[in-house]
Amino acid sequence: CFILFSVNTVYTEPDASILSAFDQFISSAADNVACDYSVCMRLPRFDSSIEEQLARLVKEKGVCLIQLSLGSGNQSNSPYMGGALTDVAFYRALRVCREHGILPIVVASAPAYLVDQLTKDLQSKHPNIGPELLYYNQPERGEVNTIMRAALHAFQSGHVCPVLISRIHSPSALQCFLEQRRKCRGLLFGQTTICAIGAPLSAFQTSNYDSSDTTNFTLSKDWTIAASYTYEPPIRPDVNLAEQLLALLANNDNVTVGSGHRAIRTDVRAAFGLRNSARIPKGVSSLGCRLPVLWNCGVENHGGLSPCAFVRSVSADPARLANLYPQKGRIAVGSDADIVIWSKIDGLTEDGYKNLLPEGVYNVFSGLELRSRPDMVFLRGSLVVVDGKLVERQGVLGKYLPLKPFGQFAFNRLEAMDGTLNADRPILPREPYTGKVAGSEQNQDNEKKESHFFRKEHYDNVPKVALPPGQRQIHTSVKTAQPPGGSSHSFW
């Protein structure tokens, strides 16, 4: 989520139309959204039908963000598995994204086939396994594998395509992203979530926190707490990772902060996953907490973020990735008058999380004491929030914002990059080959077939040599070892 602008991921059934899913989302959001919003379509598969619909979405609807999921490299029975694309389909999707100016988003989670297999194995060995199942079935190495494969297809294909790697939640995934971005020469962009930063620091600030205790988050012995932290990829209680992410944000390292918001009540999680942990809905409520939690961790508590770096991470750079800058993410002439006025430090007279979380949803940031948060919010010049409360008015100000393809922030260096890659792959000049080619018709016609035939030593004593080309051996008589009727023997 950006400041006063959100990108909503729309999921589609495997055999459904993405055009219909888009229209359904727009109709449901028209009267219920108080901020400007856009759409990121998650592709359930990739075929000729999806390719045609994508072209229409870009030209007619302004959808220039899509989410792709990598599955197995060899799914022979189906071109997709739970929305996960094969390597061939993923490669084709990147080619289409490059052609139409779409920025693909790849979630840094373990491949779908690996998650499914690990889930089956764990449940067969431990039928009563709890929410920790959703932690063990998504290893860090799986996240690394996804990032490496996405970077390989995006940069080593015939046409380079920028890719946004989202939900970087583990040290291994972060290290792999930094290495692959260097190899991809800056065309790989990164995004983490506020959960990966705020949740570990929230646990660290609690009085009973033990850094050596592994029973935190999804591994908690309390089912309610463990189920509330289920996420894809998992949220890990790693304070060092949170500090590394804050350092990257401070250094303007092309890493932004999203929300990854999916609010799910505890009773809903229990209804689905109390008997089967694999069915626990995964998600964390973080949309309303993204700004105040990042401000608390990065700016107020000496996390290394300046106010300018904070705005760049949550507003300016995300707007650039969506090709909405400077309409969004900047205060200037011609831009939308989207303004957030922050409250004073220690100026809160009530619970800082009030009105930020839906009712019945567990707060994964409860260990952080918010000292300030947005006080007044203007959307396109109209006051929409006062004292942390939404202003009641007739009509909803939020509107859908179509995106334009080929955003400069992501696509401006592609032509130069193509030229560089061609220079790195020189075509060597050499003389044409004039020798023989096995199996060619020309060689068979010109070849002297007599050279393949030899005399048989059984019939004569002539050495085994080839006949002269163009000639044949003429015999006045034929010598045989036995007459046609066979050998004769005397009776005496």
pLDDT digits (tens, 9 = 90+) for 167-180: 999 999 999 999 99
User: What is the model's pLDDT at position 463?
Assistant: 56
429 in any annotated domain = no
Please tell me which residue, 5 or 242, carries the higher pLDDT value: 242
Contact 368, 205 (CB under 8 A): yes
Q: Which helix (H) or strand (E) holds 256?
A: strand 255-258
User: What is the model's pLDDT at position 252?
Assistant: 79
348 in any annotated domain = yes
457 in any annotated domain = no
Neighbouring-strand partners of residue 344: none
487 in any annotated domain = no
Q: Which helix (H) or strand (E) holds 87?
A: helix 87-100
Render pLDDT for 266-300 as a digit per residue (tens, 0 to 9). 999 999 999 999 999 999 999 989 999 999 999 98
Token code pair at residue 390: 């939404």
77 in any annotated domain = yes
Contact 198, 368 (CB under 8 A): yes
Task: State the chain's mean pLDDT as an integer.
Answer: 85
DSSP 3-state assignment of 398? coil
Render pLDDT for 338-378 as a digit per residue (tens, 0 to 9). 999 988 777 665 678 888 888 899 999 988 988 888 889 99
Render pLDDT for 82-140 as a digit per residue (tens, 0 to 9). 578 999 999 999 999 999 999 999 999 999 889 999 999 999 999 999 999 999 999 99
CATH number reported for the structural domain that contains residue 318 in this entry:
3.20.20.140
28 in any annotated domain = yes
CA 368 – CA 354 distance, rounded (Å): 13
Chain-centroid distance, C-alpha 260: 13
> Whole domain around residue 120: which residue ranges?
5-416
Please, how many CA atoms are within 13 Å of residue 166, restricted to the half-sphere of its CB?
Answer: 24
Please give the C-alpha separations between residue 490 and each of 483, 487, in angstroms, as whole numbers: 15, 10
11 in any annotated domain = yes
Neighbouring-strand partners of residue 104: 66
470 in any annotated domain = no
What average pLDDT does the segment 380-398 reach?
81
pTM of the model: 0.84
CA 195 – CA 245 distance, rounded (Å): 11
Number of folded domains that form the chain: 1
